[in-house]
Amino acid sequence: MLRSFRTFASPAVPALICMLTAAAAQAQAPAAPPPWKQGISTDQANSTLHPFAPHMTGRSSKDLPLDKLKVPAGFKVEVWAEGVPEARSLALGDKGTVFVSNRLAKNVYAVVDKGGTREVKTLLKGLNSPNGVAFSKGTLYVAERHRITRYDGIEASLDNPPEGKVVIDGLDPQNQPGHFWKFLAMGPDGKLYYNVGAPGNIVMPGYFQGTISRVDPKSAVVETVAQGVRNSVGFDWNPQSKQLWFTEHGRDWLSDDSPSDELNVVKTKGQHFGYPFCHQGDTLDPEFGKNRDCKEFTPPVLKLGAHVAPLGMRFYNGKMFPAQYRNNIFIARHGSWNRATKQGYDVVRVSFDAGGKPKMEPFLTGFLQDEKADPPMWGRPVDVLVMKDGAMLVSDDYNGIIYRISYGKK
Amino acid sequence: MNGTLRDRSAAAFAAALCFFAADAFGADEVPRKAEPCFVCHGLGGNSTIPTNPSLAGHPAQAIAMQLYQFREGNRKDPQMSPMAANLSNKEMNELAEYFSKQKATPSGHKTAPENAAAGPKLAQEFNCVQCHGPRLLGQQHIPRLAGQQHEYLLAQLRRFKAQTRADLDGNMTSAAQALTDRDVEVLADYIAGLSAQ
């Protein structure tokens, strides 16, 4: 039963929603709230807020208000590829192949630039929530819900990919509810970094849940890099300091304006970032924060806004954008659902002054049409990727489209 | 099986043209791919078969989502799975668009008075309205329930409760866990009798 249940019910749309095992366990207790309302405040008991699901069959760019998209002066945004249903995380191959993941669907796509047109190939099928993709030294790594696999020499066999070899299995021994999908990136130390989210909106995580961990692909030895991380679906390393920076989603159902989602940096292995005790570095959780102190935990570098759902982030290391963009961080904000007045649904730029103080400003906007409407947006950015020529790709899972942002005449 | 369905659909479609005339479909042209759907889901997607759902008047995204679930093998049905197996995303979107624009007609179901009284409270208590909307007409990827075929509603709720019905995000499966068998009966009887508009 459990096995077949996992097969059909595994993907969860929103952060807090589907604590299925918890649901089954709670079914006997009539007073228990349904899992997706877990942690809801009394003020919001009659809220009609709900998460949004992507168009799993994709939408044609011809049917979308692309003219609403805005980028700063001198930049240009265009559709780079479409027909990539539920396009999520992006990874770039040595030969220019762009690998695109799914979360609710089961595929990994390979998008090949054919000099002006893009060919979308369904590279891998039948995977279990393959949200994480990373490329390093000829190998594509894929993080599914329960394991990480490797596909060696993948760019030479896009039409006939090899069977994946397991790097590590057993990452989801209990079929965890909540945030089970994984982001994946190859660190400068040659280790694969991935998140294991918290098994619900606001719950006590198990010992390796609510973490960012790394695994050595040679030995399969795992280490915890960061703890107290509710869910991170985007991270990258500062090109100069080599420190790990990551985005983190704050809890839902506290209020419209609190807590903020976070941009964090790991300075020491094993640092604790607060969840479920302390949110946004300064706000104790009404339940789990009793008898705790936010000083125990590492605060964020920057607050990214309440419920904006920051996902992919990358340091800009290309040469196409003006010099002041170098080493800035670009963050895709997938957008708020757990908020009466919506915000996010954009890509923001984070730059730093001489003293290292961060500043956030809009970079790609226009997906948010009406902050009070349902749905409020026509597209949702998930990940950003810097290409070899310095242009930036942005994935949109709501429509299955990938956009390209360029600067100057290119 | 496909051949048989196609033959039957052609007959059904011919019948549709004869006695429905143009106004049943409005100004919309009936996509050829929609014709076979009429056999089981009724003319214009208004089912007259108790076990089969109506498609008319659902949000387009909800229809495309279910077609997708059948094609991907997440949701399985001996009749529907082969029908969806070879549809492209574009075809699914076109079918969804067409059926979403068809006027939903009343199912003719008569709700028992005691269930008409108890239903609204249950729909609130068990969060039906949270996703399906205050009048259960559906929104975005969430289907219309109001005025749907009674037996179909009953069967789906039972399957969600038994954790055997495909569910994109687990929401319906988890929502159904809280229902007693009696709640399922009351809700299905209440919802089937609601106005589909």
Query: What is the total count of domains within chain B?
Result: 2
Q: What is the reported pLDDT for A25?
A: 38
Given CB atoms, is A53 within the 8 Å cutoff of chain B? yes
B128 inside domain = yes
| Tens-digit pLDDT profile for residues A238-256 | 999 999 999 999 999 999 9
Q: What is the reported pLDDT for A35?
A: 59
Measured CA to CA, the distance from residue A46 to residue A253 in angstroms comes to 12
Q: Write the CB contacts of A63 (distance below 8 Å, at least 6 apart in sequence).
A: none
Q: Which residues of A touch B181 (CB under 8 A)?
A: none
- Helix axis angle, B150-161 relative to B181-192, nearest 10°? 150
B84 and B142 belong to one structural domain: no
Query: Could you count the other beta carbons within 10 Å of the beta carbon of residue B53?
Result: 24
Q: Which residues of B touch A106 (CB under 8 A)?
A: 72
Residue A49: band (very low, low, confident or very high) from pLDDT cuts 50, 70, 90: confident
Whether A12 and B175 lie within 8 Å, measured CB to CB? no
Residue B126 clears pLDDT 50, i.e. is over it: yes
Kind of pairing between the strands at A184-186 and A165-168: unpaired
Measured CA to CA, the distance from residue A141 to residue A217 in angstroms comes to 10
Distance from CA of B159 to the nearest CA of A (A): 12
Q: b/e string for A10-30 if b means 16 or more Cβ within 10 A?
A: bbbbbbbbbbbbbbbebbeee
pTM for this one? Answer: 0.89
Residue A59 clears pLDDT 80, i.e. is over it: yes
AA identity, residue A205: P
Rg of chain A's alpha carbons, rounded to an integer? 20
Residue A176: band (very low, low, confident or very high) from pLDDT cuts 50, 70, 90: confident
ipTM of this complex: 0.84
B121 and B57 belong to one structural domain: no
What DSSP string runs through B63-109? HHHHHHHHHTTSS--TTHHHHHHT--HHHHHHHHHHHHTSPPPP---
The CATH architecture one would assign to domain A64-407 is 6 Propeller (2.120)
Kind of pairing between the strands at A310-315 and A329-333: antiparallel
Tell me if residue B55 falls in helix, strand or coil: coil
Q: Which residues of A touch B74 (CB under 8 A)?
A: 7-8
Measured CA to CA, the distance from residue A170 to residue A147 in angstroms comes to 6
Whether B61 and A50 lie within 8 Å, measured CB to CB? no
Residue B30: band (very low, low, confident or very high) from pLDDT cuts 50, 70, 90: confident
B29 inside domain = yes
Q: How far is CA A325 from CA A177, A320, A407, B172, B195, in A?
A: 39, 9, 11, 45, 56
Whether B177 and A23 lie within 8 Å, measured CB to CB? yes
B48 and B118 belong to one structural domain: no
- Do you know the residue count of chain A? 410
Helix and strand element counts for chain B (H, E): 10, 0
- The verdict on whether omega for the bond into residue A11 sits within 30 degrees of 0, i.e. cis, is no
- Helix axis angle, B60-71 relative to B89-100, nearest 10°? 140
| Tens-digit pLDDT profile for residues A340-389 | 999 999 999 999 999 999 999 999 999 999 999 999 999 999 999 999 99
Contact A91/A61 with Cβ under 8 angstroms?
Answer: no
- Please compute the mean of the pLDDT values over residues A72-86 and round it to a whole number: 98
Q: What is the reported pLDDT for B174?
A: 86
Q: Which of A8, A48, A85 sits opposite B74 (nearest CB)?
A: A8
Q: What is the reported pLDDT for A12?
A: 37
Measured CA to CA, the distance from residue B145 to residue B140 in angstroms comes to 13
Q: What is the reported pLDDT for A38?
A: 77
Distance from CA of B11 to the nearest CA of A (A): 30
Whether B166 and A17 lie within 8 Å, measured CB to CB? no
Nearest CA in chain B to A37: B127
Q: How far is CA A391 from CA A226, A404, A408, in A?
A: 31, 7, 10
Given CB atoms, is A50 within the 8 Å cutoff of chain B? yes
| Tens-digit pLDDT profile for residues B148-158 | 999 999 999 99
Distance from CA of A13 to the nearest CA of B (A): 5
| Chosen domain end from B73, B100, B127 | B100
> Please, what is the average pLDDT of chain A?
91
B197 inside domain = no
| Structural domain boundaries enclosing B148 | 113-192
AA identity, residue A92: L
| Chosen domain end from B100, B121, B142 | B100
> Please, what is the average pLDDT of chain B?
87
Measured CA to CA, the distance from residue B141 to residue B130 in angstroms comes to 13
Q: Which of B93, B141, B169 sits opposite A18 (nearest CB)?
A: B169
Locate tokens 């397991």: which residue?
A166
Nearest CA in chain A to B74: A8
B175 and B129 belong to one structural domain: yes
Residue B171: band (very low, low, confident or very high) from pLDDT cuts 50, 70, 90: confident
- For the stretch A116-123, contacts whose Cβ atoms lie closer than 8 Å and that sit 24 or more positions apart, written own/partner, are A118/A80, A118/A81, A120/A81, A120/A83, A120/A84, A121/A158, A121/A159, A123/A99, A123/A154, A123/A158, A123/A161
> Which residues are registered as beta bridge partners of A393?
A385, A404
What DSSP string runs through A206-242? -TTSSEEEEE-TTT--EEEEEES-S----EEE-TTT-
B80 and B139 belong to one structural domain: no
Given CB atoms, is A374 within the 8 Å cutoff of chain B? yes
Nearest CA in chain B to A11: B169
Q: What is the reported pLDDT for B169?
A: 82
* Among A38, A297, A353, A7, CA closest to B127: A38
Measured CA to CA, the distance from residue A365 to residue A231 in angstroms comes to 24
Q: What is the reported pLDDT for A272?
A: 98
Contact A66/A39 with Cβ under 8 angstroms?
Answer: no
Whether B169 and A35 lie within 8 Å, measured CB to CB? no
Q: Which of A12, A27, A52 sits opposite B177 (nearest CB)?
A: A27
Q: What is the reported pLDDT for A51?
A: 85
B107 inside domain = no
Given CB atoms, is B3 within the 8 Å cutoff of chain A? no
Given CB atoms, is A352 within the 8 Å cutoff of chain B? no
CATH value at residue B20: 1.10.760.10
Measured CA to CA, the distance from residue A246 to residue A273 in angstroms comes to 11
> Which residues are registered as beta bridge partners of A224?
A213
Contact B87/B95 with Cβ under 8 angstroms?
Answer: yes
Q: Which of A31-35, A308-312, A329-333, B119-123 has the weakest average pLDDT?
A: A31-35
Q: What is the reported pLDDT for A4?
A: 36
- The secondary element (H helix, E strand) that includes residue B114 is helix B113-125
Distance from CA of A103 to the nearest CA of B (A): 11
Q: What is the reported pLDDT for B23?
A: 40
- For the stretch A60-67, contacts whose Cβ atoms lie closer than 8 Å and that sit 24 or more positions apart, written own/partner, are A60/B90, A60/B93, A61/A399, A61/A401, A64/A378, A64/A379, A64/A399, A64/A401, A65/A366, A65/A369, A65/A378
- For the stretch A115-118, contacts whose Cβ atoms lie closer than 8 Å and that sit 24 or more positions apart, written own/partner, are A118/A80, A118/A81
Distance from CA of A205 to the nearest CA of B (A): 20
B35 inside domain = yes
B122 and B183 belong to one structural domain: yes
Kind of pairing between the strands at A75-82 and A401-407: antiparallel
The residue of A6, A8, A40 whose CB has the most chain B CBs within 10 angstroms, and thus the best one to mutate to test that interface, is: A8
More confident residue, A207 or A366: A366
| Chosen domain end from B100, B125, B159 | B100
Q: What is the reported pLDDT for A298?
A: 98
Q: What is the reported pLDDT for A188?
A: 97
Residue A28: band (very low, low, confident or very high) from pLDDT cuts 50, 70, 90: very low
B15 and B79 belong to one structural domain: yes
Contact A117/A128 with Cβ under 8 angstroms?
Answer: no
How much of chain B, in percent, has pLDDT values that exceed 70?
A: 86
Q: Which of A154-158, A326-330, A347-351, B104-108 has the weakest average pLDDT?
A: B104-108
Measured CA to CA, the distance from residue B182 to residue B112 in angstroms comes to 14
Q: Write the CB contacts of A404 (distance below 8 Å, at least 6 apart in sequence).
A: A77, A78, A79, A80, A387, A391, A392, A393, A394
Residue B26 clears pLDDT 50, i.e. is over it: no
* Among A179, A189, A124, CA closest to A150: A124
Residue A29: band (very low, low, confident or very high) from pLDDT cuts 50, 70, 90: very low
Residue B132 clears pLDDT 50, i.e. is over it: yes
Whether A8 and B174 lie within 8 Å, measured CB to CB? no
Residue A31 clears pLDDT 50, i.e. is over it: no
Q: What is the reported pLDDT for A107?
A: 97
Q: What is the reported pLDDT for B114?
A: 97
Q: What is the reported pLDDT for A274?
A: 98
Given CB atoms, is A1 within the 8 Å cutoff of chain B? yes
Residue A225 clears pLDDT 80, i.e. is over it: yes
